[in-house]
Amino acid sequence: MAGTKAFNDVVAARTRAAQQILNTPDLLARFEVLGGLAADLQTIAQVGLAAEALNHAQAEAKTSGKSATLEVLQAFEALQLEYSLVLGIARAIRGDLVTEKEPEQVIGRLTDIIKNEAQLTVSIEDGVDGTKVHKVKRKASQEAMRAEIEKDVTALADFTEIAARLRARRCDRARLEGMKRNAQALYGKLGVRVSTKGQAKSSTAQEIEMVTAQRFRWGSVYRLLAALARQDERVRSLLKDASR
């Protein structure tokens, strides 16, 4: 456990030991007689406390990240459900357009929206018989899907040629604009999630730096602390948990 880079019981024990010696005049005096400095102990205590605070900050950031992730999933699920319904309406309208022999450019424009091409990626893989097979896969990225939904509902809202048909199927401009706002709000939630994850990583890096600094200073003065422990039972008890 002593070799870990994260805050743990050993780091806390070293912090307590340094603080206790600093706060006990006779122990501090004897430590200085042995060649130690109060500054040595202050460094051990300060970086230990900093490591503990950063560890707590990291845990809080992870918790916030989980909350942000849950919020994203709930909002994303609701948006996807609404999007699926709207695309179903768009497909029904396309069927009407084809049946009624409406202009090809109108049908083509609606077809392009329904295709949802931005979600797709094409890869070439080996088939079971050794031949090359083109496989089409949907992107897993939530942001790619969110962006596609925003683009599609914006296109439908601006599609004046089918506006009456959309209204007839209870998909008016207000509904589409609401979906657009929800998609944009989801983008912000995705940003929060990335930010909280970044915050957790930053806290972790700083925590490791503080633990490393404490380990270095502790190792530098350990012989002096061990010598003091041989003189005083109180220090022996303190060093018991703060193993080297």
Predicted TM-score of the model (pTM): 0.48
Point out the least confidently predicted range of 18-22, 57-61, 194-198, 199-203.
194-198
* Most confident option among 56-70, 115-129, 171-185: 171-185
Average pLDDT over residues 201-229: 88
Average pLDDT over residues 106-115: 92
* CB under 8 A, 24+ apart: contacts of 59-68: 61/196, 61/197, 61/199, 61/200, 61/203, 62/196, 62/200, 64/196, 64/199, 65/193, 65/196, 65/197, 65/200, 68/189, 68/192, 68/193, 68/196
For residue 131, pLDDT beyond 60 = no
Q: Is residue 92 in a domain?
A: yes
Residue 60, pLDDT score: 63
Q: Domains in the chain: how many in total?
A: 1
How far apart (Å, rounded) are the C-alpha atoms in residues 126 and 121?
16
Residue 107, pLDDT score: 95
Q: Is residue 1 in a domain?
A: no
Name the residue range of residue 161's domain: 9-241
Q: Is residue 2 in a domain?
A: no
Q: What is the mean pLDDT of the chain?
A: 81
